[in-house]
Every structure is written in C-alpha cells, then in structure tokens.
Amino acid sequence: MPHCDLQYSDDLEIDAVAMLARVEAVILRHDPGAGETKGRAYPASVFHHTHLKVTVSLLSKPHRGAAFVAALQDALRTDLGRDLPRPCWLSIDITFSTPNYHTELLT
C-alpha cells in the first residue's frame, strides 16, 4: 500500500484531498496492483518561497526499478504541476520502504 505526503506552503490554494486522489490514480495507472494510497497533507504557515513537496513511499518490488520511478515521477509532475500557480517550486520524492516495514488493516 503506497503512502503519499503533501507538504506545501499554505499560500497555495489547493484541494489536498483531491490532489491525494489524483496521486493515487497516477500510481494505479503505472502499477494497477499497488492498491489504495494512504495520504496526508501538511500545509505550512511558515515558509520561504511557494512550494509543494510530494513524497510517495512504495514497497520495493522487482518491477519498480529506475524506469518505473522515472515514468511515475514524470506523470506526477505533469498531473500535479498543471494546476499550480507560477512561480511555484514542485518537488517529487519517490522512496521505498525498508524490509522492516509492516502494514495491515486492523478490523
């Protein structure tokens, strides 16, 4: 299950819930078996320069190599960047969870 954190300057007028859903959709287009993406948004009231940082964390799998990461990063940049005001810094960090990571849905 992927995770996505949005960290952004609060001068950006973004719909964080919709943006997290868009990130999930982009991930699923590139990896249909990825599952739901858990997301969180952190607007910052104290900042220097308008920015959005998107951190996506995935489990390491054989098909998620350098080409996968490059394609996913480019798709996220294109999708999320189109609605951001200019000037605005956009950073996208795709990371992989360690082998010690564990997640489960408690019911």
Q: Which strands sit side by side in the sheet containing 38-44, from one edge to the other? A: 38-44, 3-9, 51-58, 89-96
Q: Which pLDDT band holds residue 48 (cuts at 50, 70, 90)?
A: very high
User: Domains of the chain: which residue ranges?
Assistant: 3-96
Query: Over the Cα atoms of the chain, what is R_g?
Result: 14
Which superfamily does CATH assign the domain made up of 3-96 to?
A: Macrophage Migration Inhibitory Factor (3.30.429.10)
pLDDT digits (tens, 9 = 90+) for 63-73: 999 999 999 99
> What percent of the chain shows pLDDT beyond 90?
93
Per-residue tokens: 24: 């999930």
Average pLDDT of the chain is 96
Question: Omega into 87 within 30° of 0, i.e. cis?
Answer: yes
Mean pLDDT score, 54-78 = 97
- Is pTM beyond 0.85? Reply is yes
Per-residue tokens: 56: 């996506």
pLDDT digits (tens, 9 = 90+) for 7-17: 999 999 999 99
